């Protein structure tokens, strides 16, 4: 049987990094097995719907390069499956369960349910729908139920969970899980607004879409006994379940907004490379054999399996993400410099910086090792394109009469280097002869030049910087600096 998996987000906010990891594992699993990857939007909880989140989910997945394989069979529709467009189907299945005595109508109001919970709290018992005391098909009887339905009384449909016995299922990652039925609530399947709950729609769709493996976050584990009971009630074979470990903050608490960004869009906006981000996400909970850390998408597809997914939570370590991004930066400089330069030039242009492809590529080569993110490289390298902005605080610590004298001499030396052989080596030689003769420290030369040419205390090697800026620009900057300081 060929593998069929799905990613089933609810449009209740921007795509969370944890959801991206879930999608990625589904995607890798499908591709590894030559199977099908489906996107299904679970939007039946109208109250939790957040406008814009659907678009954000699609945009984030597209950025991540994970496009679904299958579309609904509605003519002209090429989007994902959308549950709110399939409500008729869930209603039909709910009715079917009622007819077979596996589900029942309940008429309780919100106030009645709150009162029930308060009673249970006071009595010290776990909150659970009390089938025997509430207003439902069992306590009211068939006649009254029919009458209320005919009157249009708001009714929900609840699952009839066995009072005794246990639910048992296997999780690919966690092994056998057994839950006593008495701990499973008579879950609402259809709400009084005629929309299904997550549980019903999810199970019906996984069955209808012939999903073979449900790979989802650990937070859904408590729902699984309910789902297993539903599969049994319908007489369907359940898919295999794999619940992925939680993502954690560095202090091992559950990953939260309070400790950093959790939306994929934030990382896109910061300028992380797509491949680096995917590589990083893949290793959050999955341990391929050996110590290797850098994997392309194709390599991930080849290596991925659920057997090496951990049970323990995985720390979303931003330092590791930055490290990963730097690794990709290096790789791109070596193997995809043209592409990287194009990306860089787009960012430069957004800052109003026009330059040539050749010069931009050289700036990347010169400075990339100091910077993690490409947008930061734009900020950092601004002095390679524009007159530098001087770091006044730093200047106060090194600028004095001696430095002025030195800079004047350096101007002369640099101006005397032949323009046709102006490179870092020649400039270095010329300055070296001067420092030897005058017994000047090369460190002072470097700092003074750096101040006049780049304005800030950190950067690439000074000779390389000067060589790339060129003789004319370098001498103009030095004389400009001398004139105004
Ligand atoms: N709609 C659920 C979510 O938002 C899907 C959980 C599942 O994969 O079953 O994550």
178: number of Cβ within 10 Å: 9
pLDDT of residue 63: 96
**Averaged over 159-170, what is the pLDDT?**
96
C-alpha 437/C-alpha 434 separation (Å) is 5
Ligand 1 center to 9 CA (angstroms):
5
Instruction: Indicate if the pLDDT at residue 270 is higher than 60.
Output: yes
Catalytic residue of the set 121, 146, 254, 257:
257
Ligand 1 center to 8 CA (angstroms):
5
pLDDT tens digits, one per residue of 125-155:
989 999 999 999 999 999 999 999 999 999 9
DSSP string, 180-248: EGGGS---EEE-TTSPBPHHHHHHHHHHHTT--EEEEEGGGGGGHHHHHHHHHHHT----EEEEEPPEE
Cα of 136 vs its chain's centroid, Å: 44
- Which atom of ligand 1 is nearest to 22's Cα? 8
Instruction: Indicate if the pLDDT at residue 197 is higher than 90.
Output: yes
Q: List the one residue out of 114, 112, 122, 120 whose CA is nearest residue 153.
A: 112
As given in the structure block, the two tokens for residue 1 are 């049987």
Q: List the one residue out of 229, 237, 238 whose CA is nearest residue 103.
A: 229
- Which atom of ligand 1 is nearest to 223's Cα? 9
| Phi and psi torsions of 357, nearest 5° | -60, -40
Mutational pocket test of ligand 1: of 171, 216, 224, 240, the residue with most ligand atoms within 8 Å of the beta carbon: 216
pLDDT tens digits, one per residue of 371-381:
999 999 999 99
pLDDT of residue 77: 47
Annotated catalytic residue 471: no
Q: Are strands 103-106 and 156-159 parallel, antiparallel or unpaired?
A: antiparallel
Ligand 1 center to 286 CA (angstroms):
20
Q: Which residues of 182-194 are buried (b: 16+ CB within 10 A; e: fewer)?
A: eebebbbbbbbee
pLDDT tens digits, one per residue of 224-250:
999 999 999 999 999 999 999 999 998
C-alpha 328/C-alpha 319 separation (Å) is 14
Three-state DSSP at 6 gives strand
Ligand 1 center to 244 CA (angstroms):
12
Instruction: Indicate if the pLDDT at residue 73 is higher than 80.
Output: no
Residue whose CA is at the smallest distance from ligand 1 atom 3: 9
C-alpha 65/C-alpha 408 separation (Å) is 55
Q: List the one residue out of 254, 280, 285, 258 whose CA is nearest residue 267.
A: 280
pLDDT of residue 79: 60
Mutational pocket test of ligand 1: of 4, 7, 9, 206, the residue with most ligand atoms within 8 Å of the beta carbon: 9
Judge whether 4 and 38 are in contact, CB under 8 Å. yes
| Phi and psi torsions of 404, nearest 5° | -60, -45
Instruction: Indicate if the pLDDT at residue 257 is higher than 90.
Output: no
pLDDT of residue 141: 97
pLDDT of residue 75: 40
pLDDT tens digits, one per residue of 1-19:
799 999 999 999 999 999 9
As given in the structure block, the two tokens for residue 370 are 């100091």
86: number of Cβ within 10 Å: 19
Eight-class DSSP state of 106: E
As given in the structure block, the two tokens for residue 389 are 């902005």
Domains of the chain (ranges plus CATH)?
Answer: 1-71+245-335 (3.40.50.620), 88-190 (3.90.800.10), 336-386 (1.10.8), 387-484 (1.10.10.350)
Contacts (Cβ under 8 Å, ≥6 apart) of 349? none
Judge whether 160 and 102 are in contact, CB under 8 Å. yes
C-alpha 303/C-alpha 337 separation (Å) is 28
Provide the mean pLDDT of the chain: 95
pLDDT tens digits, one per residue of 98-122:
999 999 999 999 999 999 999 999 9
Q: pTM value?
A: 0.93
Return the H-helix or E-strand segment holding 81.
strand 81-82
As given in the structure block, the two tokens for residue 323 are 């490290």
Judge whether 211 and 239 are in contact, CB under 8 Å. yes
Question: What secondary structure, in 3-state letters, does 111-133 show?
Answer: HHHHHHHHHHHHHCCCCCCCCCC
Q: What residues are in contact with ligand 1 under a 6 Å CB criterion?
A: 8-10, 42, 198, 202, 216, 220
Q: Residue 74's pLDDT band (boundaries 50, 70, 90)? A: low
- Which atom of ligand 1 is nearest to 8's Cα? 5
The mean-pLDDT minimum among 3-7, 116-120, 255-259, 359-363 falls in: 255-259
Ligand 1 center to 67 CA (angstroms):
18
C-alpha 53/C-alpha 9 separation (Å) is 10
pLDDT of residue 192: 95
Q: Residue 316's pLDDT band (boundaries 50, 70, 90)? A: very high
Mutational pocket test of ligand 1: of 38, 202, 228, 230, the residue with most ligand atoms within 8 Å of the beta carbon: 202
Cα of 463 vs its chain's centroid, Å: 41
Cα of 233 vs its chain's centroid, Å: 36
**Averaged over 457-466, what is the pLDDT?**
95
Ligand 1 center to 189 CA (angstroms):
16
Long-range contacts of 164-172 (CB under 8 A, 24+ apart): 167/225, 167/228, 167/229, 168/228, 169/224, 169/225, 169/228, 169/238, 169/241, 170/240, 170/241, 171/221, 171/224, 171/241, 171/242, 171/243, 172/213, 172/240, 172/241, 172/242, 172/306, 172/307
């Amino acid at each position: 049987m060929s593998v069929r998996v799905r990613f089933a987000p609810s449009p209740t906010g921007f795509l969370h990094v944890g959801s991206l990891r879930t999608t990625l594992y589904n995607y890798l699993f499908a591709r590894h097995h030559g199977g099908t990857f489906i996107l299904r939007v679970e939007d039946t909880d109208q109250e939790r719907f957040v406008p814009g989140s659907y678009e954000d989910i699609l945009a984030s997945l597209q950025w991540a390069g994970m496009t679904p394989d299958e579309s609904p069979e509605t003519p002209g529709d090429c989007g994902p499956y959308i549950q709110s467009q399939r409500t008729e189907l869930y209603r039909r299945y709910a009715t079917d369960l009622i007819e077979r005595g596996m589900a029942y109508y309940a008429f309780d109001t919100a106030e009645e349910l709150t009162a029930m919970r308060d009673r249970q709290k006071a009595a010290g018992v776990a909150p659970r729908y009390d089938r025997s005391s509430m207003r439902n098909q069992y306590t009211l009887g068939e006649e009254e139920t029919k009458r209320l339905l005919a009157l249009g009384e708001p009714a929900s449909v609840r699952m009839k969970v066995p009072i005794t016995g246990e639910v048992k299922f296997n999780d690919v990652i966690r092994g056998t899980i057994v839950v006593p039925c008495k701990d499973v609530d008579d879950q609402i399947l259809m709400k009084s607004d005629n929309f299904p709950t997550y549980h019903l729609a999810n199970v019906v769709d996984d069955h209808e879409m012939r999903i073979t493996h449900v790979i989802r976050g650990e937070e859904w584990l408590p729902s699984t006994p309910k789902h297993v009971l539903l599969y049994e009630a319908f007489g369907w074979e359940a898919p295999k379940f794999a619940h992925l470990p939680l993502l954690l903050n560095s202090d091992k608490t559950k990953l939260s907004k309070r400790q950093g960004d959790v939306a994929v869009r934030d990382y896109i906006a910061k300028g992380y490379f797509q491949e680096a981000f995917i590589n990083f996400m893949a290793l959050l909970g999955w341990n391929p054999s050996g110590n290797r850390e850098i994997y392309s998408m194709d390599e991930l597809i080849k290596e991925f399996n659920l057997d090496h997914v951990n049970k323990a939570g995985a720390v979303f370590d931003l330092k590791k993400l930055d490290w990963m991004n730097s690794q990709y930066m290096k790789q791109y400089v070596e193997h995809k410099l043209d592409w990287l330069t194009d990306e860089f030039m787009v960012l430069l242009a957004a800052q109003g910086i026009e330059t040539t492809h050749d010069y931009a590529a050289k700036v990347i080569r010169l400075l990339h090792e100091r910077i993690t993110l490409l947008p930061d490289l734009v900020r950092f390298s601004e002095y390679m394109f524009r007159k530098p902005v001087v770091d006044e605080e730093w200047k106060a610590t090194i600028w004095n009469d001696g430095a002025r004298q030195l800079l004047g001499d350096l101007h002369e030396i640099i101006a005397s280097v032949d323009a046709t052989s102006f490179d870092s080596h020649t400039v270095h030689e010329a300055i070296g002869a001067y420092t030897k003769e005058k017994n000047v420290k090369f460190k002072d030369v470097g700092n003074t030049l750096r101040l006049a040419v780049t304005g800030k205390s950190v950067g690439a090697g000074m000779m390389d910087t000067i060589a790339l800026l060129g003789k004319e620009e370098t001498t103009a900057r030095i004389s400009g600096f001398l004139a105004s300081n």
